[in-house]
Amino acid sequence: MSCPPPKPASLTLDSLSWGNGILHPVSLTLAPGRILGVLGANGAGKSTLLRLIYRFHAPQTGRVLLDGQDIHTTPARQVAQRVAAVLQEQPTDFALNVAEIVALGRAPHRRALSGPSERDRHLVDHALDRLDLQAFAQRPFGTLSGGERQRVMVARALAQEPGLIVLDEPTNHLDIRHQLEVLRLVRELGVTVVASLHDLNLVQGFADDLLVLRQGHPLAFGSVCDVLTPDLIARAFGVMAVARGPARFDFSLFNDTRQELSA
């Protein structure tokens, strides 16, 4: 059974803020199929912004527009059919196996009390294949490693057929190989993506655009090559950065000439 890929959504943040200064107004437009990386130090407001986009929080000011429609005036079920979220930490006490967790991605598309359709089963099987999880399909979710659980949640999002996937530190708990695999798979999905990232090594080759936050304030938004500069890195992270190539830098503390990190 062949299923057409989901249609990527356009995303507009219109003066979006939350929490009396936790996140100051953010405005941007992301074209369908683009991948936005959200960068910033701990406490910069990355997770707060993502929670607003996947409708966990209601904004203090502004709007989140998906294909021109405000998600907070749209029925929750319709939003759930178009927006999927993959979070940093996942509970381990699900009394479900991997295939059943992935099948939860089909819930927004099913009528109440109805069982899975042939299409539902096909999409779950396809997601297990894409994330290399068929060997784990009958394993209890709670027995998996952190990295394996993260892959399961990406598979659940894929089965949901969203137009927008929101990823909060998607490579958390993953080894280098699976970091690269997950980001490659996400990029190949063809949907619009917003992902918070902390590792500058992963930005190049994954994100099309970047939003950089500092203490809840937006510092810059634009293409990776335009935004990721030594000056911007210094302002956002409080470190010196020396460019060593496209989106590659040596980092050090301002009062330390030793190289601390290479990206």
Which residues, other chains included, contact 151 with Cβ-Cβ below 8 Å and sequence gap of 6+? 131, 132, 133, 174, 178, 182
Model pTM greater than 0.85?
Answer: yes
Residue 96 phi/psi, 5° resolution? -135, 155
| Tens-digit pLDDT profile for residues 205-220 | 899 999 999 999 999 9
Gap between the Cα atoms of 59 and 25, Å rounded: 10
The CB density around residue 199, as the number of other CB atoms within 10 Å, is 12
In whole numbers, what is the pLDDT of the chain averaged over residues? 88
Q: In the chain, what are the domains?
A: 11-228 (3.40.50.300), 229-263 (no CATH)
- Return the pLDDT at 2: 60
| pLDDT tens by residue, 184-200 | 888 888 899 999 988 88
Per-residue pLDDT at 58: 95
The fraction of the chain above a pLDDT of 90, given in percent, is 59
All residues at 6 or more sequence positions from 142 whose CB lies less than 8 Å from its CB, including other chains: 92, 93, 94
- Determine the Cα–Cα distance for residues 160 and 227; give it in Å rounded to an integer: 32
Token pair of 167, please? 């990823």
**How far is Cα 14 from Cα 202, in angstroms, rounded to an integer?**
28
Give the pLDDT mean for 246-259: 62
Q: Check residue 6 and report its DSSP letter.
A: P
Question: What is the reported pLDDT for 219?
Answer: 96
Report residue 4's pLDDT band, with 50, 70 and 90 as the boundaries.
Answer: low
pLDDT digits (tens, 9 = 90+) for 10-60: 999 999 999 988 999 999 999 999 999 999 999 999 999 999 999 999 999
